[in-house]
């Protein structure tokens, strides 16, 4: 019996993970902790059905509601940041990190500290503090398994291979909702338009990040941190069909591609069953029916986020934490209608430049406190930049 916990259980990744657990033969998994946010009804329903030991809402004001919803079930109810960390630290074999944003970092670290295998959907923790995450895993003999579809694809492409023979990593991008829009129209794109993805069904924030390519920018940095590959060896390729998820290029010129339907349950299931491969309820591709797959280079003018990711990697240190935090605030600003679609990248760039003008600020050593400090500074500065633009 494998003991599993799901951080961010009520989200898109969390619900897909629960779907796979629901379908597994009885006795395969024992659910330890489920965590969520304001969707207390969903959290309580899943915790009851799966017989979780504890259910946690991130928000203290929802504790009473959660308690009431769990009444008589035997599932413990808890709330708040401390409870989230405590849930992640409960002994488990496998923990899904699927909270969105930098908020996923501390709970993910707590899971690694107890030695659990961490299935990492929360790319933001790698962008903010990749070296800290990987060092924590090493120190506690824990494993990090990528769940982002591109990174799972790369991970699978590397099984049994000599890492020294890896020449390049290519991650694909659908191009998001606006890939075929004329550039002039982008300035007026609305949050509703950006939140519709052509191929993947995901949470709202990551879908908008796909349209701006901030998602791919985070993923390039995530790949660097997960696989220890130099930035110059990581490429992005626009592939509108989202069928090839990533390719690994080797010294002999071979390119190994991971091909599959755009369904997150593949990457989640691969991590859930790792190191075994088991049957998964995903569509079997009919390539003849698909007929063709297309690829093109990303256009830098359309996707300034990709350029910013390169700058962040060149700068190193804690600039990833500043980048991610500024991006989260810029995204909030866009969703709230305070700034335009193209202004998100401008805000992030401005934050990076203001923070780096204070020497040493984004190049300090990696510990959780320093990362959270930079995260907080970048959020404040991003808030100022947005206020200046809107006043
Ligand atoms: P989502 O918005 O659907 O769900 C997020 C989950 O995190 C919810 O359970 C929510 O309650 C919880 N949460 C939100 N803010 C929180 C906070 N401050 N503290 C504690 N919990 C909080 O997001 P998602 O699309 O499932 O994405 C989750 C993570 O997985 C993100 O890092 C995303 O980049 C990554 N990811 C998602 C997909 C996808 O297909 N959805 C694919 C690859 C990677
Ligand atoms: Mg991805």
Token pair, residue 381, equals 């500065």
Q: Is 263 in the pocket of ligand 1 (CB under 6 A)?
A: no
Token pair, residue 173, equals 């991008």
Q: What is the pLDDT of residue 133?
A: 97
Residues of the chain with pLDDT under 50: none
Residue 274 lies in a domain: no
Nearest CA to ligand 1 atom 27: 100
Contacts (Cβ under 8 Å, ≥6 apart) of 168: 229, 233, 234, 235, 248, 249
Residue 124: enclosing H or E segment and its boundaries?
helix 123-139
Q: Give the whole-number percent of the chain exceeding pLDDT 90.
A: 92
Q: Is 217 in the pocket of ligand 1 (CB under 6 A)?
A: no
Q: Is 346 exposed, middle or buried (0-12, 13-18, 19+ CB in 10 A)?
A: middle
Residue 330: enclosing H or E segment and its boundaries?
helix 319-335
- Report how far residue 64's alpha carbon sits from residue 58's, in angstroms, rounded to the nearest whole number: 13
Write down the pTM of the prediction: 0.97
CA 56 to chain centre: 20
The minimum-distance atom of ligand 1 relative to the CA of 200 is 40
Residue 310 lies in a domain: no
Q: Are residues 235 and 249 in the same domain?
A: yes
Q: Which of 98, 101, 111, 151 to mutate to test the pocket of ligand 1 (most atoms within 8 A of CB)?
A: 98
- Report how far residue 73's alpha carbon sits from residue 59's, in angstroms, rounded to the nearest whole number: 21
Nearest CA to ligand 1 atom 36: 121
Q: Is the peptide bond before 275 cis (omega within 30 degrees of 0)?
A: yes
Q: What is the pLDDT of residue 359?
A: 58
Least distant ligand from the CA of 217: 2
Residue 275 lies in a domain: no
Q: Which of 62, 206, 269 to mutate to test the pocket of ligand 1 (most atoms within 8 A of CB)?
A: 206
Domain carrying residue 257: 151-261+284-290
Q: Are residues 155 and 141 in the same domain?
A: no
Q: Are residues 250 and 363 in the same domain?
A: no
Nearest CA to ligand 1 atom 31: 100
pLDDT in tens, 78-93: 999 999 999 999 999 9
Query: Cβ distance 166 to 235 under 8 Å?
Result: no
Least distant ligand from the CA of 335: 1
Q: Are residues 328 and 246 in the same domain?
A: no
- Strands across the sheet with 54-57, in order? 76-79, 54-57, 29-36, 2-7, 94-97, 117-120, 144-146
Q: Are residues 29 and 140 in the same domain?
A: yes
| Residue keyed to tokens 């488990």 | 92
Q: Is 264 in the pocket of ligand 1 (CB under 6 A)?
A: yes
Q: What is the pLDDT of residue 361?
A: 66
Give buried/exposed letters for 331-340 (b at 16+ CB in 10 A, else e): bbbbbeeebb
For residue 345, give the CATH number of its domain: 1.10.1740.10
For residue 111, give the CATH number of its domain: 3.40.50.720
Nearest CA to ligand 1 atom 42: 148
Show the CA angle centred on residue 194, arms to residues 268 and 305, nearest 5°: 80
């Amino acid at each position: 019996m494998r003991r599993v916990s799901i951080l961010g259980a009520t989200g898109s990744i969390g619900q897909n993970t629960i779907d796979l657990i629901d379908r597994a033969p009885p006795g395969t998994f024992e659910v330890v902790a489920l965590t969520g946010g304001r969707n207390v009804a969903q959290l309580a329903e899943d915790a009851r059905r799966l017989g979780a030991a504890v259910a946690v809402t991130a928000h203290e004001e929802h504790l009473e509601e959660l308690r009431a919803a769990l009444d008589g079930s035997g599932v413990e109810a808890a709330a708040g940041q401390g409870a989230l960390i405590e849930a992640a630290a409960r002994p488990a074999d496998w923990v899904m990190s699927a909270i969105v944003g930098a908020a996923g970092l501390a709970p993910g670290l707590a899971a690694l500290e107890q030695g659990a295998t961490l299935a990492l959907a929360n790319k933001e923790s790698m962008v903010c503090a990749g070296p800290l995450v990987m060092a924590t895993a090493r120190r506690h003999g824990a494993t990090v398994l990528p769940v982002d579809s591109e990174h799972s694809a790369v991970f699978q492409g590397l099984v049994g291979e000599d890492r020294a023979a890896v020449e390049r990593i290519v991650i694909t991008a659908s191009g998001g909702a606006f890939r075929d829009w004329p550039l002039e129209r982008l300035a007026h794109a609305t949050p509703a338009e950006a939140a519709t993805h052509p191929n993947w069904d995901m949470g709202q924030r990551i879908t908008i990040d796909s349209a701006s390519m901030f998602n791919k920018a985070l993923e390039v940095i995530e790949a660097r941190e997960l696989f220890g590959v130099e930035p110059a060896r990581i490429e992005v390729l626009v592939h509108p069909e989202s069928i090839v998820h990533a390719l690994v290029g080797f010294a002999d010129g071979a390119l190994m591609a991971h091909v599959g339907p755009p369904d997150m349950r593949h990457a989640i299931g691969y991590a859930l069953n790792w190191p075994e491969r088991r049957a998964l309820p995903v569509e079997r591709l009919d390539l003849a029916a698909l007929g063709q797959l297309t690829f093109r280079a990303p256009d830098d003018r359309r996707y300034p986020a990709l350029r910013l990711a390169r700058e962040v990697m060149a700068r190193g240190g804690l600039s990833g934490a500043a980048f991610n935090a500024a991006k989260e605030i810029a995204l909030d600003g866009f969703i709230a209608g305070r700034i335009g679609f193209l202004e998100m990248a401008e805000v992030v760039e401005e934050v990076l430049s203001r923070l780096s003008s204070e020497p040493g600020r984004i190049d300090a050593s990696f510990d959780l406190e320093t990362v959270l400090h930079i995260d907080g500074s970048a959020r404040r500065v991003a808030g100022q930049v947005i206020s200046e633009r809107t006043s």
